[in-house]
Structure 1
């Protein structure tokens, strides 16, 4: 199994594209060491950096609100405590207990709020 990240694959693809462009002599400013495609590749790198990670957990709106309100807390137990105190027995608390791994991932990595039906 490889330990290659999506970032590694993306950067490899950009390097290979850049090599291909140069090998075909498509660089317009070769005397300056640049390529007319460089601004496009730089834009893709910036867009990639700004994009959300892949496969973020999807949580209900009420769970997202709990996560947002608990943002400044330093550990997951405090977040769960906040959820338990603020949401007595409810569908939201039941969702958190039933989906503890998803909730933990959402707290660590970020999340997407599911669209209302």
Structure 2
């Protein structure tokens, strides 16, 4: 192989690798309960906002239980409460997460 052929071959392999790398899922996917996964899918399908999805008054019972598992927000459980909400919000924003109970990876496709 001449230098030009090797260079072209290297560039094509590099391009293919970078394309695959860009489309790969992150290693640190948020892990959320199945009820939260279903709730995100329902809210996204109806074009609801993140603040609506996090509101205790309107979430389904299963999701509300998940958020209330800590007994609601108190100074004592502030860190755990925020982590629970932050993980939900990360899953919402990324559009991809792992379901805690099943290990299933859910990736919401952007509608065109």
Q: Smaller-chain TM-score range? A: 0.5 to 0.7
TM-score, length-scaled by structure 2? 0.59
The structure-2 alpha-carbon separation of the partners of 1:115 and 1:41, relative to structure 1 and needing over 3 Å to count, comes to farther
Partners of 1:113 and 1:44 lie apart in 2 by 28
Q: CA deviation at 1:77?
A: 1.2
What is the aligned partner in structure 2 of residue 102 from structure 1? 87
Answering whether residue 53 of structure 2 is matched by residue 79 of structure 1, we say yes
Q: Is the contact between residue 61 and residue 114 of structure 1 (CA under 8 Å) also seen in structure 2?
A: yes
**Larger helix percent:** 1
> If each structure's strand is expressed as a fraction of its own residues, which one has the higher value?
2
2:30 maps to: 57
1:53: Cα distance to partner?
Answer: 2.5
Answer yes or no: is the 8 Å Cα contact 1:59–1:113 preserved in 2: yes
- Unpaired runs of 5+ residues, structure 1, are 1-27
Point out which structure has higher relative CO (alpha carbons under 8 A, 6+ apart). 2
Matched positions, count: 87
Is the radius of gyration larger for structure 1 or structure 2? 1
Structure 2: runs of 5+ lacking an equivalent: 69-80, 104-112
